[in-house]
Amino acid sequence: MTKLGFDRKRLAAIDPFLNDRYVKTGRLPGTLTLVARHGEIAHLGVNGMADVERQKKLAEDTIFRIYSMTKPLTSVAFMMLVEEGKVSLDQPVHRYIPAWKDMGVFKAGTAKTGFMTTPTSGPMRIVDLLRHTSGLTYGFQNRTNVDAAYRSARIGEIEKAGTLDTMIADLAKIPLEFSPGTAWNYSVATDILGYLIGVISGQKFEDFLSERLLKPLGMDDTGFHVPADKAHRFAACYTPTAKGGMELQDDPTKSPYLAPPSFVSGGGGLVSTAADYLKFAQAMLNGGVHIDGKHRHRLISRKTLDLMTANHLPGGVDLPALSKSLFSEAAYDGTGFGLGFATSTSAARTLMPGSDGDYFWGGAASTFFWVDPKEDLIAIFMTQLIPSSTYPVRGELRTMIYSALDD
């Protein structure tokens, strides 16, 4: 028996696998797996708990912290401004953030003693923010004196006090890791895109995102906080223990997400549901169009989306050749990076089933999604365990979903 070109038995095997390996063993609180093809849901499976302590079951409408799965949404919103001619990818960032004009590259020193820097070989451009070649970083990288300065100033932390404006001011005091365009390093760059959306559009970033993307898509359960009337649907978040279990990381009844944040993070601040994220992913698979019955709403053009999902790493190399930081979101040979998405440049080199040109990303709490235009396929996985590198669920699910294709 097949459904939408899938072997039903093989798809049905996914949930028992996840339940036996991860949920029953106490490694994950619960899982939600959604597979769509040809515009229809082929599989929707739910296991385990949204809140282990209160024995609240995971449901199809559970609200999750999606962390870096915010980035593709912010990037698409920014590209709307590019389409309108209000900004271009080759412009220097300091055109919009003058305080960054003379940012140098780290040579020596610390935030406490002062930094020595060397001049950049060229200006940071808008494209560098989108493809993560800006020279910025994240505090959690734990590699250099630069990311130590980020940790000290709590730059990029979702729950920090302060605003996008104070983040911009703080970053002006810290050197870059490398000259823009010469390496790839996962960073707060997408938070900067959120700031720039506000500067260029004249609207608050969160208002622009809501009016131009979330509302047109009908993503009613997606936002930068969980409203009081939806708090009962909000999942708990966990972190692994040394003994292979997990412990509570964020209690959903006391979470910072229950109130609007002062720091609105375009890089990792959204909460959402699987159904909401499917609307976004399906619009991307449709070539930038949201289709609701007889109504069509174009978000971005097909050609803009083609540009976004192409590999933009200098020289056309893959991430391992250029990266300063590899981790579970994209720790693969054969993977490039576009304008807000990772993309498979050689499915064979990833050593996993897939298609050249599929694109994807994930979040810190082990959520992830991918879109495969060649197979007309979308997959979304939701759980809540930090960090995302804890278990190899992403590769396992890719293998099982592609192994279920039967057409």
Per-10-residue mean pLDDT, the chain, length 407? 87 97 97 97 98 98 97 98 98 98 94 93 97 93 90 81 90 96 94 98 98 98 98 98 95 96 95 98 98 92 98 90 67 87 91 93 96 98 95 94 96
Tell me, yes or no, whether 392 lies in a domain.
yes
pLDDT score, position 331: 53
Q: Are residues 211 and 165 in the same domain?
A: no
Q: Are residues 356 and 242 in the same domain?
A: yes
Q: Which residues neighbour 202 within 8 Å (Cβ) at sequence distance 6 or greater? A: none
Of 181, 201, 221, which residue is a domain's last?
A: 201
Nearest to 47 by CA among 75, 26, 76, 78: 26
- Domain containing residue 331: 2-72+204-403
pLDDT score, position 326: 56
Q: Are residues 238 and 351 in the same domain?
A: yes
Q: Are residues 169 and 261 in the same domain?
A: no
Tell me, yes or no, whether 372 lies in a domain.
yes
Tell me, yes or no, whether 79 lies in a domain.
no
Whether the Cβ atoms of residue 304 and residue 81 lie closer than 8 Å to each other: no
Whether the Cβ atoms of residue 75 and residue 340 lie closer than 8 Å to each other: yes
- Count of domains in the chain? 2
pLDDT score, position 327: 57
Q: Which residues neighbour 258 within 8 Å (Cβ) at sequence distance 6 or greater? A: 225, 226, 228, 231, 234
Q: Are residues 192 and 211 in the same domain?
A: no
The pair of structure tokens assigned to 136 is 């910025």
Query: 279-289 burial, b if ≥16 CB within 10 A, otherwise e?
Result: bbbbbbbbbbb
pLDDT score, position 275: 98
- CATH number, domain at 158? 1.20.58
Q: Are residues 96 and 234 in the same domain?
A: no
pLDDT score, position 72: 98
Which residue in the block uniquely carries the two structure tokens 């895109």?
Answer: 193
Of 156, 176, 201, which residue is a domain's last?
A: 201
Whether the Cβ atoms of residue 237 and residue 384 lie closer than 8 Å to each other: yes
Tell me, yes or no, whether 77 lies in a domain.
no
Of 156, 172, 201, which residue is a domain's last?
A: 201
pLDDT score, position 192: 98
Tell me, yes or no, whether 82 lies in a domain.
no
Q: Are residues 22 and 154 in the same domain?
A: no
Q: Are residues 244 and 149 in the same domain?
A: no
pLDDT score, position 322: 85
Q: Are residues 250 and 331 in the same domain?
A: yes
Tell me, yes or no, whether 80 lies in a domain.
no
Tell me, yes or no, whether 146 lies in a domain.
yes
Q: Are residues 116 and 57 in the same domain?
A: no
Model-wide pTM > 0.75: yes
Query: 227-251 burial, b if ≥16 CB within 10 A, otherwise e?
Result: eeebeebbbbbbebeeeeebeebbe
Tell me, yes or no, whether 278 lies in a domain.
yes
- CATH number, domain at 271? 3.40.710.10
pLDDT score, position 294: 85
